[in-house]
Structure 1
Amino acid sequence: MADKRNDDMAERKASIDSDLKVVEAKEYEGINLDMAQIMDGPDKPNPFGPGYLKLYALVALLIMNSTMNGFDTSVMSSINALPNYVEYYGLPSKGAASTGIVFAIWQIGQMVGSLFTWLADWRGRKFMITFGVLGVMIGTVITATAPTLGAFIGGRFILSFFATLAHLGAVIYVVEMAPTRYRGTVAGLYNTFYYFGSILATSAVYGAHLHLSDRGNLDWRLPLWLQMVCPGLVACGIWFYPESPRWLLMKDRTEDAQRVLTRYHANDVPNHPLVELEVREIVASLRDEPPVTEWKTFFDLRQLVKTRGRRYRLALNVTFAWFSQFSGNNVISYYLPSLLKNVGITSTNLKLLLNIIYAIVGWIFSTAGANCHDRIGRRKMFLISTMGMVICLAITAGTAADFDNTGNKSSSSASIAFIYVFGAVFSFAYTSMQPIYPTEIISNDARAKGVMCYKLTGGASGFLNTFVTPIALENIRFWFYVFFVFWDLFEFVVIYFFFVETKGISLEELDEIFEAPNPRKASTAVKRMQKRVVVDADGEVREEEIKHA
C-alpha cells in the first residue's frame, strides 16, 4: 500500500514538473516578469475592467455567507433580552451556565464542522459552500420551530455545523480568487458583512418586539426564521460560479485554471503575463509538495509541521485564531445587553436599539479597515488596534467600577461610550482579517487543513469566552474588563515580534518569506529580494534575483 502511494506521489510530481516546464517555456518579450513589475508596468490589468467587475460581483454574493455568524451573535444577544424567550424555555434571569451553553453550542458546532474542511480539497470549494448553505436552511427550520430548549440547542448545533462549512469554503474561495494586489480589500470585505448580519438580526428583533411582543412568541421566533435569507441567496447563485483556479491546478486541470485567471484577473486578455506568472507560481508551489488526493489522508497533519517554516505558519494561524476571538470582543458582542444592565440600562427597547447602533458602528469601521489593509499593512493595523483596545478596556473598567461604587450617571455614560469605541477599534483592524489572514499564510497544498486548525482554535476560544462570560459578569463584573486589558497587552507583544506582513505578497511568494531565518523581519524588510525567470539565448530557463527598494 505504501509503495503504491509512493508511486502515485512520484507520478504526481512528474506531472507537475511537466506542467511547470511548459508554463516556464512561455516567455513574454523574452522575460517572465515578477508580480511587482507587472502590476506597476504598462500591462497592469484595469481593476475596473469587465473581468474584475465580474469577480467583484461573485465576491459580493458570496459575502452573504459572512452574515451568518454576525446574525447569530446578534439575534441571540437580542432575544436573550426578551421576556417571552426567557420564559418560554425557562432560562434563568441572571447569568448562568445554562444560558452560556445556549450561546456556546455555536462554537461546538463550529469545531465539529471544521473537521470536515477536507471536503474543500476532495470535492472542491464550490461543493463545500453549496453543501453548507443548504444545511443552514435545514438548521434554521429546526431552530425556529424548536418546542423545547433541548431541541433549540440541537438546532443551533446543526445550524452552526453547516454554517461553518459554508463560511470556510467561502473564505478559501475568496482568498484564492482575489488578485494579489487587491487581496486585502476584496477578501477583507468578506468578513465585514458579519455586521450586516448583526444589523439585520438586531433590527428584526427590535421591530418584532415593538410590534409583536403581545402575539405569543413571534417577537423572537420570526427573527430566527430570517437566518436563512442570506444563505438562501448564495444557494441560488453558487451554481454559476467557476471553481477556484488553485483547486483546478491541484487536480491537474491547467487549461481550466488558465481560463478562470484570464477572465477574472486579466480581463479576458489572452496570454497575459500576469496569468502566466500566477500559473507558474502555483504549479511551482505544488511541485515540491503535491496535494493529497485521498480523503483518508486529509487528517494527516504532518504536512503542517514538517519544516520550520510550516511550523511557523501553523503557530501564527492558531495564535491569530485565538486572538481574534479572545480579545474582549466576544464578551461585548454576545452580552452587550447584560453589560448595559451592569451600568444602569434596564429598558428592553433601549438595549435592543443600542445593540443595533453597535452593529452599525462595527460595519462602518470594519469596511473602512478592509480598504486600509492593502495600504497600511496587516501587521501595523493589528498593532494599532490592539493598543487601542487596551486603552478602551482600561477606561471602560474604570468608569464601570466608579458607577458600581457610586452610581455616577456620567461614569455609566462614559462606560457605554467606550464599549462602542472598543467595537470600532477592534472592527477596524481585526474583523476584515479574521478569516483572511490565517488563510493566506498557509501554503496552497495545506490551506484546507490550516483553515481547519484555525476554526478549531477559534471555536475553542469562542466557547470558553461565551460559556464563562455570563458567570464572570455576574460574579466579578468590571474586573472582567481588567483581565482583558492585560491579555491584550500580551497580544501586542506577540504581534510585534512574530506576526508576518502579507500586504502585496502573493500566496506563493509567502513560501520564501516563511523559510527565512526570521519570517517577520523578512516580510517587513525595506528591501526585499525577489526572483524572476528568464529564458537565455540557448533556450534554458533560469532564475535571476532582483532587488526592489
Structure 2
Amino acid sequence: MAKGNIYAWYVCMVVATTMILYGYDSSTFNAVQGSDHWNEYFHQPGPSVIGSINTAYTVGGILAGVLFSAPISDNFGRRWAIIVGCVIVIISTFISTFTPRNIGGFIAGRALVGIGQGIALPAGPTYISEIAPAESRGKIMSFWQMNFSVGSFLAYWINYACTKNSGSLGDWDWKTVQMFQLLAPVIIIITVSFCPESPRWFIAHDRLEDAVRALSLVRDDAERVQNEISDIKRALQFEKENISSGYSALWKDKSVRKRLYLCILLNIGQQLTGQGSLNNYSTKIYQAVFTSNSTIQLINALNGTLGIIFTLNATWTVDRFGRRFLFLVGAVGMAICMLTAAAVVTETPGSLSDGKSRSVGIATAFLMFLFAFFFKPSWGATVWIWTGEIFSMNVRNQAIAISSQAQNAANAVLQQVFPVFLASEGFYAMYMFGAINVALFAYVWFFIAETKNVGIEEMDAIFGGANHVQSAELAKGKTELIEVAAVEANTKDGSKGTA
C-alpha cells in the first residue's frame, strides 16, 4: 500500500474512534442497570424511570446533532466538532458518576453525554467520506461501526470484571464502569488534533494551499491530487452559484429532498431492527431466561467481543458486493433470528416468571449472537456508509446530522416504550421486530440505490440530481463560448467601423 493511502487509512481510523464514545456509553447504562448497588443508590428506579434515563440521552443527542453539530463543523472544521463533543462527554462523565443519590443528577449527566455525542458523531462520517479514496471509502467507513462494537466490548468486559468483584467494590462496581468512559474522549482529542482538516472544508473557506497540502498527505499521485482539487473546486463553485447551502437547501432541491427522506427512514430502520433495544436492554431481556447476573454480564461481554469480529465482515463485502446486498441479506437474517427467538421462548414449557430451562437460555443467547452476525456488517456498518456518502458538500453536514439523529429519535421512542412493553409482553415483543425486518427488506428492494464505487462529487446524478462537477464544466464551457462570441462580435463591429 502506498504511503499516502496508509496515512489516509490512519487519519480515518483515528476519526472513526469517535464511534467508541457511542458504543461504550450506550452499553454502559445497559450494563450498570443490572447492578444491585446502582439500583440501591438511586432507590430502585422502575421501568418508566429507566426509559426516561435513556430518553434524556437520546433527546440530548437529537437537539445537539441538529442544532449545533453542523454549524460547528461548517464554520470551524470537522475536527473541532469532534473535539468539542468529546470535551462535553468528559464533563458529563463526572456529573453522572459523582451525582448525589438523586436520579435527576444522573439523568442530567446522561442528557449531557447525548449532547456531546450529538455534536461529535455527525462530523465523523463527513470527515471520512471527504478524506477516503472512492475505491476504498466503503471499506474504511465499515470501521466506523466496528468501533461501536469496540466501545461495547470495553464496557461489557469492564462491567463483567466489576460484577465479579461487586462485594468488595460496593458502589464503585458501577462508578468504575462510568469513569472508564473518560478514556476514549481523551485519546480522541489528542489524536484528532494532529490529523489534517478536510480538503473540502479548506476549499469551502478559500484556503486552497491548505487544501492541496492536506490532500497531498492522503494521496500519493500528484496528478490525482490536482484532479480531485479541481473537481472539488468546480463542484463547490457550482453549488455556490446555483444552489443554496445549510438546512434550507435540504428542502429546495428535489434530489436532495428525496435522499434525505430515504436516509431518515433507513436510519430509523436501523433502530427498529431490534438492535437498539437489545443494546440498551439485553440485561433485562436475558433476565427472562437467566437468573445469574454474572452469567448475563458474561453473555453481554461475549456479544460485545463477537460484535467486533462480525463488523469486520463489512470490510471485505461492502465494496465487493455492494450496499444493497448487505442490507437485503442482513434484513432476512435478522428477521429469521427474531422470529425464531420469540418462538423458542414463548412456545416452550415454563413461565418467564419462574424461569426457563437452561437449554432455552442457551438457544436464546445463540440466536441473539446470530442476530448480531447479520446486523453488524449490514444495518450496523452499511447504514453509516450510505448516509455518509450520498450527499453533496453544500448539505452534507446538515443531512448527516438530521439522518443520524433520526436514529436517536427512533431510539428515544423505543427506550421509553420498550421496557414497559417487555415487562408486560415478554418475548412476544420479538415478533414485532421480526415483522419490521421483513418490511425493511422490502424498503431496500424498492427504494435504496447502489452507491458502490461512485465518487463523492458524482453522487448527485445517482439520485436524479445534477452532477456538480459536470454541470460546472458545462457552465464554464458556455461562459467561454459567450466570451468568444462577444470577442468575435466586437471584432466584426470594429472591422465595419474601419471600412
Q: Given the two structures, how large is their TM-score scaled by the length of structure 2?
A: 0.88
Shift of 1:360: 1.1
Contact 2:199/2:215 (<8 A) preserved? yes
2:288 to 334, 337, 342: 342
Q: Does 1:332 align with 2:281?
A: no
2:446 to 477, 497, 518: 497
Structure 2: how far apart are the matches of 1:324 and 1:222?
A: 30
1:116 to 68, 81, 87: 68
Q: Does 1:185 align with 2:139?
A: yes
Shift of 1:499: 0.4
Shift of 1:184: 0.4
After the TM superposition, which residues 67-216 of structure 1 pair with which residues of structure 2 at under 5 Å, given as runs?
Answer: 67-92=20-45, 96-114=47-65, 115-117=67-69, 118-147=71-100, 148-216=102-170
After the TM superposition, which residues 14-33 of structure 1 pair with which residues of structure 2 at under 5 Å, given as runs?
Answer: none
Q: Does 1:351 align with 2:296?
A: yes
RMSD (Å) for aligned C-alpha atoms: 2.4
Structure 2: how far apart are the matches of 1:447 and 1:428?
A: 23
Partner of residue 252, structure 2: 306
Contact 2:341/2:364 (<8 A) preserved? yes
- More helix per residue: 2
In structure 1, what residue type is equivalent to 2:138? G
Contact 1:317/1:438 (<8 A) preserved? yes
Contact 1:399/1:412 (<8 A) preserved? no
Q: Does 1:315 align with 2:265?
A: no
Shift of 1:254: 2.2
Please identify, of 114-123 and 300-309, the stretch whose mean Cα deviation from structure 2 is larger.
Answer: 300-309
In structure 2, what residue type is equivalent to 1:52? N
Shift of 1:514: 1.3
SS at match of 1:476: helix
Contact 1:386/1:492 (<8 A) preserved? yes
Partner of residue 237, structure 1: 191
Structure 2: how far apart are the matches of 1:212 and 1:333?
A: 22
2:228 to 259, 265, 278: 278
Structure 2: how far apart are the matches of 1:231 and 1:456?
A: 20
Matched residues, number: 467
Shift of 1:349: 0.7
Contact 2:149/2:307 (<8 A) preserved? yes
Q: Given the two structures, how large is their TM-score scaled by the length of structure 1?
A: 0.81
Contact 1:113/1:164 (<8 A) preserved? yes
Contact 2:237/2:472 (<8 A) preserved? no
Partner of residue 366, structure 2: 417
Contact 2:234/2:472 (<8 A) preserved? no
Give CA-to-partner distance per residue, 1:41-72, whole Å, 9 cap, x none.
Answer: xxxxxxx1112222222222222211111111
SS at match of 1:502: coil
Shift of 1:409: 4.2
Shift of 1:340: 1.2
Shift of 1:405: 4.9
Shift of 1:533: 7.8
SS at match of 2:53: helix
Contact 2:337/2:371 (<8 A) preserved? yes
1:360 to 305, 309, 314: 305
SS at match of 1:427: helix
Structure 2: how far apart are the matches of 1:404 and 1:388?
A: 26
- Structure 1: where are the runs of 5+ without partners? 1-47, 520-529, 535-539, 542-549
Shift of 1:404: 6.1
Shift of 1:291: 9.0
Shift of 1:146: 1.3
Structure 1: how far apart are the matches of 2:337 and 2:241?
A: 45
SS at match of 2:456: coil
Structure 2: how far apart are the matches of 1:367 and 1:185?
A: 9
Partner of residue 61, structure 1: 14
Structure 1: how far apart are the matches of 2:93 and 2:446?
A: 43
Structure 2: how far apart are the matches of 1:251 and 1:68?
A: 29
Shift of 1:516: 6.3
Give CA-to-partner distance per residue, 1:379-428, whole Å, 9 cap, x none.
Answer: 11100000111111110110011236564543333222111111111012
- Structure 2: where are the runs of 5+ without partners? 475-479, 482-499
Partner of residue 446, structure 1: 395
SS at match of 1:191: helix
Identity of aligned residues (%): 26
Give CA-to-partner distance per residue, 1:448-480, whole Å, 9 cap, x none.
Answer: 110121133111101011111110111111221
Partner of residue 2, structure 2: 49
Please identify, of 166-175 and 144-153, the stretch whose mean Cα deviation from structure 2 is larger.
Answer: 166-175
